[in-house]
Amino acid sequence: MSTQQSTDPNRVIIFDTTLRDGEQSPGCSMNLEEKLRIAKQLEGMGVDVIEAGFPIASPGDFEAVNEIAKVIKDAVVCGLARSGNMDVDAAGEALKPAERKRVHTFISTSPLHMSVKLQMDPEDVHQAVIDSVTRARKYTDDVEWSAEDGTRTEHDFLCRCIESAIDAGATTINIPDTVGYTVPTEYAALIEMVMNRVPNVDKARISVHCHNDLGLAVANSLAAVSAGARQVECTINGIGERAGNASMEEIVMALRTRHDVMPFVNNIDTTEITKASRMLSGITGFNVQPNKAIVGANAFAHEAGIHQDGVLKDASTYEIMTPESVGLVQSKLVLGKHSGRHAFNEKLKELGYDLGDNAKQDAFRRFKDLADLKKDVFDEDIVALVDDEVMHAGERIKVVSLEINCGTVHTPPKASLTLEVDGEEKFCDGTGDGPVDAAFNCIKELFPHDTNLQLYQVHAVTQGTDAQAEVSVRLEENGKTVNGQGADTDTMVASVKAYVHALNKLLVEREKTAPAALSA
Ligand code: MN
């Protein structure tokens, strides 16, 4: 459904900026393949507009927006641009292949930002609004203009800029709470003021973009919708600059659960929420806190006896939403060591994988290995296994074998590791402060490199001591960070896989920036 075609006055456009504002947050950078996976997930769950990046920011950002523009058909693909010609042109060019595209241009309008950050007079800012929107319209009819730091902008000037932006052809007007400063009553009043005072406001859709510095991003967004805004900018898991953006799953589930007091509709298939959340956590290594609304591990867990008793009698006693409504289904025992190729292929289809013949063969072989080690193979295991296979395909460095000696004995933990580097097997023994340290020291010995380990994180894919471990490793080199993941029933093997995955990604980053540095 096009954002322009929608005629229902209560229809709220869901504008996802996980790949732009979310990706901008420290440690959250994603590579092209990861951005494409997220974009397809967002499209599949019914997001109206996908803000894919900030094309002028870097060649990588330009490429990501351009590639996403080529494959996404059911959502509008959006690129961000400051008000300068080069910014707008970069966004327009990057978006060229998109079936439906939006250029999103912005400039600060608050007195503080104009004088300190931009060092521009209000008159010049006003002219920049007109010029940037006019230029963006050369690339598409779908242009969004944002008044950066909108909640700290003087009302007269805000209204004047909005009116001019609409006159110049902007079809969406975003009034962001860039610094996460506003509160629900004040923000609702601001939106109402704009709706009442800007004479041509009926020609545009009002959008909101809230940050969570005071924990109010979702509350502010919903207050704005009740006041007349009809687009909400948000991210999966609420990732984003500083304390993050309004979280999509909270916005969407609040609108759904409290439709009685907020009679608005949107296009999101809420049963895809859990999958989207886990995909993003896996890619970035940013797990959500256990008590996070909607997607936290405890969001649907009932511990207190009196609650459990009530829920068993009737789920609605303590549950305002069902786990199923967000796609959280009980782990089902699906396959075991006697399951055949046909059953496995059917399961892949059911889980939404469309693998080529070779990848399917490899996945089946790994499933059989897993079933030998683990009695019960759950859906989550298959997802971890296939994602692991996809992630590690075509890497320059591969894990061949690992042996670890550790325990309470008074000798340092020892690792014996064999890696394949560009087709050549290399072996070493190493020691360390612990088994993980010993194994990582071996990797450094076999493939010398100088990076900082910023994150090492283990979590279990399912319950039980035979569960697969999913490990995230974040490496930093010259200010660039990459996240690597690995899954295995052996935590140490998963750790080495995750480290090597991150290292492989760093090599791809290096290839783009400094081909000479590729030797190690
Ligand atoms: Mn923002």
Over residues 358-415, the pLDDT tens digits come to: 888 888 998 988 888 887 788 888 888 888 777 777 788 999 999 999 888 778 899 9
Say how far apart CA 50 and CA 46 lie, in whole Å: 10
Say how far apart CA 133 and CA 116 lie, in whole Å: 23
Q: For residue 5, what pLDDT band results from cuts at 50, 70 and 90?
A: low
Helices 273-284 & 248-257, crossing angle to 10 degrees? 170
Distance 51 CA to ligand 1 centre (A): 12
Residues 6+ apart with CB under 8 A from 307: 317, 318
Distance 53 CA to ligand 1 centre (A): 12
Q: Indicate the DSSP class of residue 203.
A: G
pLDDT value of residue 511: 56
Q: Indicate the DSSP class of residue 49.
A: E
Residue-wise pLDDT for 176-193, tens only, equals 999 999 999 999 999 999
Which one, of 339, 321, 415, lies nearest residue 379 by Cα? 339
pLDDT value of residue 383: 83
Say how far apart CA 298 and CA 193 lie, in whole Å: 40
pLDDT value of residue 218: 98
Residue-wise pLDDT for 81-109, tens only, equals 999 999 999 999 999 999 999 999 999 99
Distance 328 CA to ligand 1 centre (A): 29
For Cα atoms 373, 377, 380, give the angle at the middle one, nearest 5 degrees: 120
CB atoms within 10 A of CB 129: 27
* Residue carrying structure tokens 């203009």: 145
pLDDT value of residue 91: 98
Say how far apart CA 343 and CA 334 lie, in whole Å: 9
Q: Average pLDDT of 1-18?
A: 80
Give the predicted TM-score (pTM) of the model. Answer: 0.83
Distance 502 CA to ligand 1 centre (A): 27
Say how far apart CA 463 and CA 330 lie, in whole Å: 12
pLDDT value of residue 305: 67
Say how far apart CA 400 and CA 324 lie, in whole Å: 40
Amino acid present at 66 = N
Distance 177 CA to ligand 1 centre (A): 8
Distance 471 CA to ligand 1 centre (A): 29
Q: For residue 210, what pLDDT band results from cuts at 50, 70 and 90?
A: very high
Helix (H) or strand (E) run with residue 303 in it: none
Structure-token pair, residue 294: 């909607």
Helix (H) or strand (E) run with residue 383 in it: helix 379-392
Q: Is residue 471 packed enough to be buried (19+ CB in 10 Å), middle (13-18) or exposed (0-12)?
A: buried
For Cα atoms 37, 40, 42, give the angle at the middle one, nearest 5 degrees: 110
Is pLDDT above 50 for 513? no
Is pLDDT above 50 for 514? no
Distance 145 CA to ligand 1 centre (A): 14
Distance 510 CA to ligand 1 centre (A): 28
Residue-wise pLDDT for 215-232, tens only, equals 999 999 999 999 999 999
Is pLDDT above 50 for 473? yes
Which one, of 418, 431, 360, lies nearest residue 389 by Cα? 360
Q: Which residues, in sequence order, are bridge partners of residue 401? A: 418
Among the ranges given (157-171, 302-316, 341-355), the one the predictor scored with the smallest mean pLDDT: 302-316
Amino acid present at 38 = I
Among the ranges given (106-110, 115-119, 127-131, 515-519), the one the predictor scored with the smallest mean pLDDT: 515-519
Q: Average pLDDT of 430-449?
A: 93
Q: For residue 29, what pLDDT band results from cuts at 50, 70 and 90?
A: confident
At 68 the three-state DSSP class reads: helix
Distance 338 CA to ligand 1 centre (A): 51
Q: For residue 201, what pLDDT band results from cuts at 50, 70 and 90?
A: very high
Over pLDDT 90: what percentage of the chain? 65
Helix (H) or strand (E) run with residue 348 in it: helix 341-350
Distance 498 CA to ligand 1 centre (A): 30
pLDDT value of residue 70: 98
Say how far apart CA 359 and CA 346 lie, in whole Å: 15
Q: Average pLDDT of 203-226?
A: 98
Distance 17 CA to ligand 1 centre (A): 9
Structure-token pair, residue 439: 């194994």
Q: For the chain, how many residues are written?
A: 520
- CA-atom Rg of the chain in angstroms: 25
Over pLDDT 70: what percentage of the chain? 94
Say how far apart CA 220 and CA 232 lie, in whole Å: 10
pLDDT value of residue 431: 93
Which one, of 444, 445, 418, 415, lies nearest residue 430 by Cα? 415
Three-state SS string over 435-474 comes to HHHHHHHHHHHHCCCCCEEEEEEEEECCCCCCCCEEEEEE
CA dihedral 404→406→409→414, nearest 10 degrees, is 50
pLDDT value of residue 159: 98
Distance 215 CA to ligand 1 centre (A): 14
Distance 212 CA to ligand 1 centre (A): 10
Distance 457 CA to ligand 1 centre (A): 27
pLDDT value of residue 15: 98
Domains of the chain: 13-284 (3.20.20.70), 397-509 (3.30.160.270)
Say how far apart CA 137 and CA 144 lie, in whole Å: 10
Q: Average pLDDT of 197-214?
A: 98
Structure-token pair, residue 44: 């599949």
Is pLDDT above 70 for 512? no
Q: Average pLDDT of 322-327?
A: 92
Q: For residue 516, what pLDDT band results from cuts at 50, 70 and 90?
A: very low
Helices 85-94 & 59-71, crossing angle to 10 degrees? 40
Distance 140 CA to ligand 1 centre (A): 23
Is pLDDT above 60 for 419? yes
pLDDT value of residue 2: 46
Residue-wise pLDDT for 226-275, tens only, equals 999 999 999 999 999 999 999 999 999 999 999 999 999 999 999 999 99
Mean pLDDT of the chain: 90
Say how far apart CA 348 and CA 363 lie, in whole Å: 10
